[in-house]
Homo-oligomer: A and B are copies of this chain.
Amino acid sequence: MLLHLSTWAEIEARLAADRSIVIPIGSNEQHGPTGLLGTDWLCPEIIAHEAQKTHDILVGPTFNIGMAQHHLGFPGSISLRPSTFIAAIGDWARSLAVQGFQRIYFLNGHGGNIASIEAAFSEIYAEASFAGRARGYALRLRNWWELPGVQALCARLYPQGHGSHATPSEIAVTQWAYPGEVRTASYAPQIAPSGPVREAADFRARYPDGRMGSDPAQASPAAGGEIVALAARVLADDLAAGW
């Protein structure tokens, strides 16, 4: 069930039975010579939307701009500062919580978001901790590539050159979902370098085409479909368990 294509009364009715929600969250940022700028928010959106077709889960609107300050040297990248990101995640959570949501699950598509999302959770919990009371709801961060079995699948598909940015797995996912948007390029080097992440100017100097440690030429729509199928199959269980 997609929240944005529902009415408030439908959500009110659902809340009587189930108080959890999945929020796809990512980033809009460069993904190398062939990756789409939307890759990091498209991936969790694709997986969550696919999952809700066959499982009884509620998927909220996609939080599409995250913490990507290091990519700002590449046109089309958009970033929130961590402080803004933390404030915004807090407002999303408080909005949903006042209506009765008790389990807010962020399905994340961007490694650079992790620290800020976790800091945001602590900021939200801290309100209750400083007040000496219970929060009343729980927050959870799950990177889509850490859904049970997904990392193993990606490792099997891409034993070399997976890397950490503009990876063949994330590009494959978008290729499967947007088959009309597949790009090719010749990469030099074939596997991009790795290293630290600092400000945007430093990043573009270290990683001139935007990739980090990856060989995205390995991506294919078919592999993307395989990844989406697995991730979508396990998402509902992951949402249901372990709170």
Contact = CB atoms under 8 A, between A and B. Distances in A.
A54 interface: no
B60 A198 contact: no
Nearest to A128: B199
B91 A138 contact: no
28 contacts: A3-B38, A4-B28, A4-B37, A5-B37, A7-B31, A7-B33, A7-B36, A8-B30, A8-B74, A8-B75, A9-B33, A15-B75, A61-B64, A64-B64, A67-B122, A69-B125, A72-B95, A72-B99, A81-B91, A81-B123, A82-B119, A84-B88, A84-B91, A87-B87, A94-B130, A98-B200, A134-B201, A135-B202
A144 interface: no
Interface of A: 3-12, 15, 28, 30-38, 41-42, 60-65, 67, 69-70, 72-84, 86-88, 90-92, 94-96, 98-100, 112, 114-116, 118-120, 122-123, 125-126, 128-135, 138-139, 178, 181, 183, 196, 198-202, 210, 242-243
> Copies of this chain, how many?
6
A70 B127 CA distance: 11
Given A7-B30, A61-B38, A76-B99, A129 B91 contact: no
Given A5-B36, A134-B199, A135-B199, A86 B88 contact: no
Contact of A7 (B37, B87, B243): B37
A182 to B, nearest CB: 11
